[in-house]
Chain A
Amino acid sequence: MAGKRQLMTLTVNGDDYEMLVSPRQTLLDVIRDQVGLTGTKEGCTTGSCGVCTINNDRGEAVLSCLTPALEWQGKSITTIEGLEVNGKLDALQNAFLDYGAVQCGFCTPGVLMSAKAVINAFDHPGEEDINDGMAGVLCRCTGHIKVKEAIRNVADSSNETQRERRDDGQ
């Protein structure tokens, strides 16, 4: 039985998209091939690696590869492209640069969106909260320590001024 394409609307990074989507497409397929935002990567497609991580409308990390696109009719999501606002990088992105929390970079969109979810969920995330939030995304260059340092730096309220400085893009 050939599944009918359905018209769906999806809000990505605040922009509304209306498109014909096949039941065969996952949310990841639609983000990359139809919306045209290729920052979100396709890795294992089985829920193990986490590089396809995006944020849902509650700012939580979810896997775009394990969900049919049509499930997201009318919903709002944030992808890696949505972190940068008006040409300014997000505090997390700046921290990743400062700490060198990037090696080959393939997992970085997924790592950043997972980290963003941790920052969204906790005012003061502890070691366990960060580990829990980041366990679902794998860096095969083994760069997890610097990633955690960058997250802790952004999350640490004592670094309020530093966060502001980062937000200013300095």
Chain B
Amino acid sequence: MLLPEHEFSKPASLRDSLTELAEAGGEVKLLAGGTDVVFNMRGRLFRPDVLLSIRDLPELQEVEQLADGAVSLGAGCRLSELERHALLKGYPGLIAGLRAVASRHVRNMATLGGNLNLDTRCWYANQTAEWRAAKGPCLKTGMEVCHAIKSADICVALNASDIAPALLALDASVVLASLNGERTVKLADYYTDDGVQHTVRRPDEIMTRVLLPKNSDRMAYIKETARKGNDFAYATIAASADGHGNQCSRVRIVLGSLTTRPALLLKTAAVLVEHGLDDTTIKAAVGEVRDELGALTNLYTPAAYKGRIARALVREALQQLREQ
């Protein structure tokens, strides 16, 4: 089946891409690896007027060590390159996140920026156009109704990025470029609760870099999924902490694939900083998880299952942190 009608454009520089983006008359979709965008175009969920390829922009490919120990990653770097990059050797938790994505084939194409901007997923919207035609459009496709969760007044599609939780646990930031210059946004402030407009990136902006602060002392990453390879997650967890043994500081716990915005569990983490990583405190922290996650939906898996798997993953990740 052919892709929907569109113009294809591939400017040679970031500047030209931003100009074209700013001056475009219709809807523009940015194309990097294509593994998500082309998939959604096949399902006719995306029908852009213009497909703007940014995959080979030289400005998006660099990986460099910054003066303060941070690492800057080009948003256009392919996942399989980053997996084995020398500058990321000290970030095993992030590498686990990179390797958790789909299959080797997909990671040879997919980019870091593409994964962070992965469209949210829903079992209704992510079907073929013919399948959806039986029931009609939803919040994602122009109607004020959700067919997946009847009571929803906002799109509740899930964030399915495997890498976002790992980068959130490391407190990464992203750099967004437009013709007006650059702005840096903490990844923790990048996602929203609306499955349709699920990031704060404006239509005239391109994500150029990801800034990775100095690594935490310890990090755990787990992706829970039906099959080990080539599958979306039931849930992912990334947890990081400084300190050794039971002592810990700067704890960050992030759950992915359960909600529209990856869930950064601040209250749960606060329990641990106060009392350490002993069994009693981990138990107390796990007790906080369900409350802190807030409302969960039955999208893909039942809400009760989501709550149970969230608690199990937090317990497992914290135990892993303690043993590192």
Binding site for B on A (CB under 8 A): 1-4, 6, 22-26, 29, 45-48, 50, 53, 56, 60-63, 65-68, 70-71, 73, 114, 117, 131-133, 135-137
Contact = CB atoms under 8 A, between A and B. Distances in A.
A62 B38 contact: no
A136 B80 contact: no
B31 A71 contact: yes
Among B4, B53, B104: residue with most chain A CB under 10 A: B104
B11 to A, nearest CB: 13
Interface in B1-24: 1-8, 10
A47 B38 CA distance: 10
Contacts of B102: 47, 136
Contact of A70 (B4, B8, B42, B109): B8
Contacts of B49: 1
A66 B103 contact: no
Contacts, number: 106
A160 to B, nearest CB: 26
B7 A3 contact: yes
A68 B109 contact: no
A32 to B, nearest CB: 13
B39 A1 contact: no
A131 B184 CA distance: 39
Given A47-B102, A136-B229, A137-B103, 18 more contacts: A6-B8, A23-B3, A23-B51, A45-B42, A47-B106, A48-B230, A50-B103, A50-B105, A62-B108, A66-B38, A66-B39, A67-B33, A68-B8, A68-B51, A70-B53, A71-B53, A71-B55, A136-B104
A60 B2 contact: no
Interface string B142-172: 0000000000000000000000000000000
A110 to B, nearest CB: 9
B34 interface: yes
B108 A132 contact: no
Interface of B: 1-8, 10, 26, 31, 33-35, 38-39, 42, 49-51, 53, 55, 80, 99, 102-106, 108-109, 228-230
B236 to A, nearest CB: 18
Nearest to B80: A60
Nearest to A75: B56
10 contacts: A3-B7, A24-B3, A25-B3, A45-B42, A46-B39, A66-B39, A66-B106, A67-B34, A68-B38, A136-B230
Contacts of A25: 2-3
B55 A53 contact: no
Nearest to B49: A1
Contacts of B5: 1-3, 23-24
Contact of A1 (B6, B33, B106, B229): B6
Nearest 8 A/B pairs, CB to CB: A136-B103, A135-B229, A23-B8, A136-B105, A24-B2, A60-B108, A67-B34, A70-B8
Contacts of B10: 70-71, 73
B108 A67 contact: no
Contacts of B33: 67
A62 B105 CA distance: 5
Contacts of A47: 35, 39, 102, 105-106
